[in-house]
Structure 1
Amino acid sequence: MSQAALPSTIAAAVDHELVIKKSRFLAHLAPVSSVAEADAVVARVRKGSWDARHHCVALVVGPHAEQQRSTDDGEPSGTAGVPMLEVLRHRAVTDVVAVVTRYFGGVLLGAGGLVRAYSSAVSETLDRARVVRRQVLTEVMLEVPHADAGRLDNVLREWAAQHGAVLGGTEYGAAARFTLLVPPDAVARLADDVAAATAGALVPRPGASRVVDVPA
Structure 2
Amino acid sequence: MADRYPIPASFHRVEETIKRSRFITSLGHAPDLESARAFVAAVKEEFPDATHNCWAFNAGPPGDTAFVGLSDDGEPSGTAGKPMLTALLHSGVGEIAAVVTRYFGGTKLGTGGLVRAYTSMVNLGLETLPTRDMVITVRRALSIPYPAVTLFKRMLPEFEAEVAEETFAEDAGFLVELPEERASAFADAVTQLTDGRAVIREK
TM-score band (shorter)? 0.7 to 0.9
Percentage of matched positions with identical amino acids: 37
CA contact (8 A) 2:60 2:95 kept: yes
| Displacement of 1:193 | 2.3
Looking at structure 2, the residues matched to 136 and 170 of structure 1 have their Cα atoms a distance apart, in angstroms, of 16
TM-score normalised by length of structure 2: 0.82
CA contact (8 A) 1:65 1:94 kept: no
Is 1:82 aligned to 2:82, yes or no?
yes
- For 1:168, give the aligned amino acid: E
Matched with 2:24 is: 26
- For 1:97, give the aligned amino acid: A
CA contact (8 A) 1:32 1:61 kept: yes
TM-score normalised by length of structure 1: 0.78
- Deviations for 1:175-207, whole angstroms, at most 9, x for unmatched residues? 3525142546852x4333222222223232233
**Which residue among 9, 12, 26 is the counterpart of 2:10?**
12
Counterparts in 2 of 1:43 and 1:150: CA distance versus 1, 3 Å: same
Matched with 1:121 is: 121
Matched with 1:139 is: 139
- For 1:31, give the aligned amino acid: H
Looking at structure 2, the residues matched to 192 and 123 of structure 1 have their Cα atoms a distance apart, in angstroms, of 43
Matched with 1:102 is: 102
**Which residue among 151, 163, 168 is the counterpart of 2:162?**
168
- For 2:17, give the aligned amino acid: V
Aligned length: 198
Counterparts in 2 of 1:119 and 1:204: CA distance versus 1, 3 Å: same
Looking at structure 1, the residues matched to 80 and 17 of structure 2 have their Cα atoms a distance apart, in angstroms, of 16
Is 1:150 aligned to 2:150, yes or no?
yes
- Aligned-CA RMSD value: 2.6
Looking at structure 2, the residues matched to 106 and 184 of structure 1 have their Cα atoms a distance apart, in angstroms, of 53
Looking at structure 1, the residues matched to 13 and 146 of structure 2 have their Cα atoms a distance apart, in angstroms, of 48
| Displacement of 1:73 | 1.1
- For 1:27, give the aligned amino acid: T
Tell me the secondary structure at the aligned position of residue 204 of structure 1. strand
Counterparts in 2 of 1:71 and 1:182: CA distance versus 1, 3 Å: closer
| Displacement of 1:97 | 1.6
CA contact (8 A) 1:71 1:80 kept: yes
Counterparts in 2 of 1:40 and 1:92: CA distance versus 1, 3 Å: same
> For residues 177-192 of structure 1, what are the structure 2 equivalents within 5 Å?
177-183=174-180, 187=184, 189-192=185-188
- For 1:77, give the aligned amino acid: S
Matched with 1:197 is: 193
Tell me the secondary structure at the aligned position of residue 162 of structure 2. strand
Matched with 1:45 is: 43
Tell me the secondary structure at the aligned position of residue 140 of structure 2. strand
